[in-house]
Chain A
Amino acid sequence: MSERVSFTFNGIQVQCESGQSIAAAVINTGTLALRTTRFGEEPRSIFCGIGICFDCVVVVDGVANQRACLVTAQSGMKVDSRS
């Protein structure tokens, strides 16, 4: 359960525990903003936390619009705010 996972978020390395979501791992480092909006470029973070609102969407290994609150962080993942 406390196996360490390491992935990158916007090029920066993030460490977390196995089983944590991407959102949880990033927020745990003290960074709240996960992306910026496509029209107004406003920062957004987790909002509903359970996969309903899609505010926390990030690009995971090149695939866009993945909900960071639902995707479990895996070692070697490349996560970005935008593609």
Chain B
Amino acid sequence: MRSPDAIVIGAGIVGASSALSLTNAGLRVLIIDRGAVSSGTTGAGEGNILVSDKDPGPELTLALRSRDLWFEMQEDVGDSFELEAKGGVVVARNDDVPLLNLASEQSLHGVVTQKLDHESLHQLEPYLHPDLHSGIFYPQDAQCQPMLAAAHVIRTVVARGGAFISQAKVTRIIVENSRVSGVETSQGIFRAPIVVNATGTWAGEIATMAGSHLPIAPRKGFILVTEPTKKYVFHKVYDSDYVSNVASSDADLQTSTVVEGTRSGTILIGASRERIGFDGSMNYEILRRLAAQATSLFPILRDVQLLRAYRGFRPYAPDHLPVIGEDGKVGGLWHSAGHEGAGIGLAPGSAALITDAILGKESFMDSSPFSPRRFAKVSV
């Protein structure tokens, strides 16, 4: 497909969703990736589709719509990626006032929240430490298997007349008269008036290739995976530190507690955030911290064994909002990147915003807070 209507660079969940959305709007879409499906951050994702961890604001609005779009996508593509409205339980470790305040705020903006006292908290999660006495239940939080989702969505795009070319590394963005007209790759040149940059942690490189600029940087995270075990964790469970860490700009290591079970019986434990570039090396001290945090929430996990740990690089912008919209310098170049740790949850919502914008239609929300033009140009 040498001359599609649109080229999407990136076969992770954001690229896949964008391609599906554009395809369903009637465009012939070519997806390209320098690797295979989900070879970037999507392959390291936990599958979080959350509204609980977002302050009221544009990202929460996006997250709410996107969450519902996930279920529409399942209707469209098929029940093939373990999508589940699991619900999230945020536990207050000590002072629960900040959490309760956040929940009140969120509930004014469309988030369903349920205050949990000691009894109801332990009814939802019987294995939680008995000293934990307060929390909030977010029934809208959901879970999926992100690699399967990206793969099935791409399969659907191809079935509907689109195409996917893997192992095609973009070497040049072809710009003529300040408009994009195609891409040059290791597998040849492809021409289209619309190019969507869905390359996540590497989106800045693509922007630079086009003569533009996107300040997206990696934020490293580890995930622990246990042996398959009895079901001890019934929802996504986090402590309220998760909320403040996401919005922080501290360079130092930040950890919060995230614990959930999976269909295969393993338990996933996170979460850490570090700004150390693309240094992918293992850090056992961080693993220890994450383990200690998890067992402080769920003492029974002390006897559960860790089997493996892996890391990924979340793509983030300096203001911790995703970048969704047309490039400020190059017309026809649309970015959907920098979703940090929320890429999976926000993918279909971002795809809807991008598609509406490309077609010149009004969308479900004003996407200007996400505009790439919000970054002051940095002269180097």
A65 close to B (CB within 8 Å): yes
B208 close to A (CB within 8 Å): no
**Chain B residues within an 8 Å CB radius of A38:** 228, 265
Q: How far is the CA of A65 from the CA of B305 in the complex (A)?
A: 9
Q: How many residues of B contact A (CB 8 A)?
A: 7
A63 close to B (CB within 8 Å): yes
Q: Which A residue's beta carbon lies closest to that of B226? A: A65
CB distance from B225 to the nearest CB of A (A): 13
The answer to whether B227 and A83 touch across the interface, beta carbons within 8 angstroms, is no
The answer to whether A83 and B230 touch across the interface, beta carbons within 8 angstroms, is yes
Which chain A residues (32-82) contact chain B, with CB distance < 8 Å? 38, 63-65
CB distance from A2 to the nearest CB of B (A): 34
The answer to whether B230 and A65 touch across the interface, beta carbons within 8 angstroms, is no
CB distance from B80 to the nearest CB of A (A): 18
The answer to whether A65 and B265 touch across the interface, beta carbons within 8 angstroms, is no
CB distance from B46 to the nearest CB of A (A): 21
Q: Which A residue's beta carbon lies closest to that of B230? A: A83
Q: How far is the CA of A44 from the CA of B89 in the complex (A)?
A: 38
**Chain A residues within an 8 Å CB radius of B229:** 64
From B228, B230, B265, B303, A63 is in contact (CB under 8 Å) with B303
The answer to whether A65 and B227 touch across the interface, beta carbons within 8 angstroms, is yes
Contact mask for chain B residues 131-147; partner A; CB cutoff 8 A; 1 contact, 0 none = 00000000000000000
Q: Which A residue's beta carbon lies closest to that of B229? A: A64
Q: How far is the CA of A24 from the CA of B229 in the complex (A)?
A: 25
The answer to whether A64 and B265 touch across the interface, beta carbons within 8 angstroms, is no
**Chain A residues within an 8 Å CB radius of B265:** 38
Which chain B residues (218-246) contact chain A, with CB distance < 8 Å? 227-230
Query: Which 6 A-B pairs give the minimum distances between C-beta atoms?
Result: A65-B227, A38-B228, A63-B303, A65-B305, A38-B265, A83-B230
Q: How far is the CA of A27 from the CA of B183 in the complex (A)?
A: 63
CB distance from B267 to the nearest CB of A (A): 13
Q: How far is the CA of A38 from the CA of B228 in the complex (A)?
A: 9
Q: How far is the CA of A65 from the CA of B265 in the complex (A)?
A: 13
**Chain B residues within an 8 Å CB radius of A65:** 227-228, 305
CB distance from A35 to the nearest CB of B (A): 12
**Chain B residues within an 8 Å CB radius of A64:** 227, 229-230
Q: How far is the CA of A43 from the CA of B151 in the complex (A)?
A: 33
Known: A38-B265, A64-B230. 8 other contacts (CB 8 A): A38-B228, A63-B303, A64-B227, A64-B229, A65-B227, A65-B228, A65-B305, A83-B230
